[in-house]
Homo-oligomer: A and B are copies of this chain.
Amino acid sequence: MINISSIIEISGTVAFAISGAFSAMQKRMDIFGVIIMGFVTAIGGGTIRDILIGDTPVSWMRDYKLPLIILGTVIAAILFKKYIKTFKVTLFLFDALGLGLFTIIGIQKGVSIGLNPGICIALGTITGCFGGVVRDILLNHIPLIFHREIYATACIFGGMLYFLLVGYLDINIVKVIAITVICSVRIIAVKFKLTLPKLYV
């Protein structure tokens, strides 16, 4: 059954895969590199989460669907690379939606194995953000989320809200609120070019 949650997950995965494939093409990688970068960006966060909690084989290995979607996405991204920029805003919105959903998926995995709220929020943030961290390491960059734009902050904020509300409201309503908040914080941050202050010594 395809439900709202699946549609968001697929949209987010597609957006993450395109982001990885696109940055690989900017570095002039070959087709294998572009495919791997698409995969790593899309599934990296969930993979690190599964490894940290010992939920193995990691989830993409047990699920035919997601790897096929990523492969199809990357091939489409290669074929239509000229037009990717046209969809920039759409992709950004998918990415923000995916960020919200992935964070909540990570939090719920943590809750399901009895981890405490702070650790669950960390797990959610890792699920949402660390695909991008692995992508940046492979591209030989300092991870973008450590010094640009509000990204992880949105996850942490949404995660805290999740645990504040979870005792008072229906779980599905809490999830929708948390995802909406993460997504909104991210969109507002980009629209108004909000960043965290840089620290230095």
Contact = CB atoms under 8 A, between A and B. Distances in A.
A30 B196 contact: yes
A166 interface: no
A196 B58 CA distance: 29
A4 B74 CA distance: 39
Nearest to A22: B201
A145 interface: yes
A30 B137 contact: no
What band does the interface of chain A fall in when counting residues whose beta carbon is under 8 Å from B?
Answer: 35 or more
A36 interface: yes
Given A25-B200, A64-B118, 4 more contacts: A25-B201, A29-B199, A51-B56, A54-B57
Closest 10 CB pairs of A and B: A54-B56, A33-B146, A30-B196, A25-B201, A53-B57, A29-B147, A29-B146, A25-B199, A28-B198, A28-B200
Interface of A: 22, 24-34, 36-37, 47, 51-54, 56-58, 60-62, 64, 67-68, 78, 81-82, 84, 113, 115-116, 118-119, 122-123, 133, 137-143, 145-148, 152-153, 195-201
